[in-house]
């Protein structure tokens, strides 16, 4: 649900409230005044979640580096037969 900011014409304070897009706030949550609110337009803040593919790529890269280190260590060791 979206978050909206309202300004009360009586107490002149702003407050945030979460409600549906078709709903409207009628009373001030701070002073209780009825029908004296003005909705203040806000830019929506949309956060894009990380894609699951991004996590897989990170996991593969980490394990690739670990494997390369293990291969280098194996080549550097001198094994006795």
C-beta contacts of 44-48 below 8 A and 24+ residues apart: 44/2
**Whether residue 79 has pLDDT greater than 70:** no
- Is residue 75 domain-resident? no
- Helix (H), strand (E) at residue 63: helix 52-76
Give domain status of residue 14, yes or no: yes
CB 37 within 8 A of CB 9: yes
pLDDT of residue 33: 87
Do 28 and 15 touch, CB atoms closer than 8 A?
yes
How far apart CA 34 and CA 27 sit, in angstroms, is: 4
Any domain includes 63: no
Question: pLDDT tens, 16-75?
Answer: 998 888 888 889 989 988 888 999 988 766 666 666 677 788 888 899 999 999 888 888
Alpha-carbon separation of residue 45 from 4, 11, 53, 76 (angstroms): 12, 27, 23, 53
Q: Residue 81: is its pLDDT beyond 90?
A: no
Is residue 76 assigned to a domain? no
Owning domain of residue 8: 3-40
- The reported pLDDT for the residue numbered 51 is 67
Taking residues 4-22, what's their average pLDDT?
Answer: 91
């Amino acid at each position: 649900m979206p978050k909206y900011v309202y300004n009360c014409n009586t107490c002149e304070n702003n407050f945030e409230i979460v409600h549906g897009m078709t709903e409207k706030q009628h009373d001030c949550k701070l002073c209780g005044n009825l029908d004296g609110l003005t909705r203040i337009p806000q830019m929506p803040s949309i956060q894009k979640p990380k894609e699951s593919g991004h996590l897989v790529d990170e996991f593969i890269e980490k394990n690739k580096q670990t494997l390369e280190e293990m291969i280098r260590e194996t080549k550097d060791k001198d094994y006795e037969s």
